[in-house]
Amino acid sequence: MEANADIICLQELNHFEDLSQVLKELGYEGAFREKHASPALKYEYPPDGMAVFYRSGRFTCSAGAVEGRSFQDDCTGREQSQGYLQILLHDLLVGRDLLVVTTHLKAKDGAECEDMRYQQAKQLLRNVSGTLERLEKTSQEAAAAAGGNGSAGSAAHGGGNGSSSSKAGGNGSSNGAGPNGSGSGHAAGGAAAEREHLVPVVVTGDFNTLPGSKTCRAFREHPLGLMSLWEQRPIDATLSSGSDMDMPPPPPPPAPAAAGSSGAGGAAAAAAEAAAPTLPSEFSTWKFRVKGESKRISDYIYFSGGGLLRPLQRWRMLTEAEIGPTALPSPAYASDHVSLCCEFEWDVDADLEWAPRSREPDWG
């Protein structure tokens, strides 16, 4: 609870009822998707799965706004144990909707497992796109029924200019994303009214894949225009381990491309720029297994670009020194994954497209 997040996303959670009871006393409601054929059942424990908790004083979730699915084998149609949980939230503060999705993709290395993760990612993105299309259609029909004025499902905001800040985070094997703070907007018209129909998406989870993999590219190259948390420069936040390392100064802006550069040459230059290290190497999981050490980025937060929901800052990841020589879990940090935490803001006024501080395709 250190992050004081408004939305918390968890994977591999197998005591949902217990945690839900504790978080309810702290003002959270939640939804849970049980993992199909959970390995925990073999040991007579509750099945693990994915959960999304949200601060009930900030968000509401209407009936039918929660959807959980298992992925299916593209060839056989067989239900897989991995899946996703999707929940549509309405922000009471600014009157906007937010689609939150959390997932846990196929584990293990190798081309076959990566192919499975890639197929699972495409299924997830296809279903998310379908949800957004249905929401858009419903919004347009409601607006037409009301005479074509206004925006269905979205409150009118008064009070001039402003934006609402947003925080996201979680603990344990978790990822989080969600708005926190206050702000005000204006009654939309013209292009701004069209923006009111858009529902931003935040996808979180343990993808079990490296940045730059084809699974990550599926998210980055999808028409939804998703951006990666890893493009955001971390703030020097204090984490559960008592982290207080100073971050290096921001990197200088990239040199402009030579006139006329395009095609393969331009792509090569972009790749070389992306490969240049600008921050100390970060990781979201670190463990020692029978086959050796595994230390890498495995967890992600993707979010809609385009300006409606903008990232402000994120936590930096723990260092080896802070975790200790035994890797994760450790006495300082009880999970085998480090929490991701990001603060977002609603932009309820500006129609300009938001651009990331740095674009690093090889980082997911």
User: Which residue type occupies 316?
Assistant: R
pLDDT of residue 264: 46
Q: Is 60 exceeded by the pLDDT of residue 14?
A: yes
Residue 121 pLDDT class (50, 70, 90 cuts): very high
213-251, pLDDT tens digit by residue?
999 999 999 999 999 999 887 765 433 333 333 333 344
Using alpha carbons only, what angle is made at residue 192 by residues 188 and 195, rounded to the nearest 5 degrees? 115
Q: pLDDT at position 241, please?
A: 31
- Alpha-carbon dihedral sign for residues 328, 49, 86, 98: negative
- State the pLDDT confidence band at 156, using cuts at 50, 70 and 90: very low
* Signed CA dihedral, 137, 84, 66, 75: sign only: positive
The whole-angstrom distance between residue 334's C-alpha and the CA centroid of its chain comes to 22
The whole-number pLDDT of residue 150 equals: 43
Mean pLDDT in residue range 269-287: 62
As a whole number of angstroms, the longest Cα–Cα distance in the chain is 65
Higher pLDDT, 73 or 276: 73
Q: What confidence tier does 64 reach under pLDDT thresholds 50, 70, 90?
A: confident
Average pLDDT value over all residues in the chain: 78
Higher-confidence position of 342 and 347: 342
The pLDDT of residue 80 is 97
Q: What are phi and psi of 362, to 5 degrees?
A: -70, -10
Q: Which pLDDT does position 306 carry in this prediction?
A: 75
Residues 106-118 as b or e (16 or more Cβ within 10 Å = b): beeeeeeebebbb
Query: What was the pLDDT predicted at 280?
Result: 62
pLDDT digits 0-9 by tens, 248-268 = 334 444 444 444 444 444 444
Q: What is the mean pLDDT of residues 103-119?
A: 97
Q: pLDDT at position 270, please?
A: 38
Angle at 209 between CA 41 and CA 11, to 5 degrees: 35
> Taking 80 as the threshold, does the pLDDT of residue 84 lie above it?
yes
pLDDT band at 194 (very low <50, low <70, confident <90, very high): very low
User: What's the whole-number mean pLDDT along residues 145-167?
Assistant: 45
- Do the bridges between strand 201-206 and strand 299-304 make them parallel or antiparallel, or are there none, so unpaired? antiparallel
Q: What percent of the chain has pLDDT over 70?
A: 69
CATH for 7-239+286-352, options being 3.10.450.750, 3.60.10.10, 3.20.20.70, 3.40.50.720: 3.60.10.10
pLDDT higher for 86 or 357?
86
Predicted local confidence at residue 235, as pLDDT: 67
**pLDDT above 80: residue 364:** no
The one-letter code for the residue type at 31 is: A
- Considering only residues 187 and 235, tell me which one the structure prediction assigns the higher pLDDT: 235
Q: Is the pLDDT of residue 39 over 70?
A: yes
pLDDT at 351: 42
Predicted confidence at residue 185, as pLDDT, reads: 34
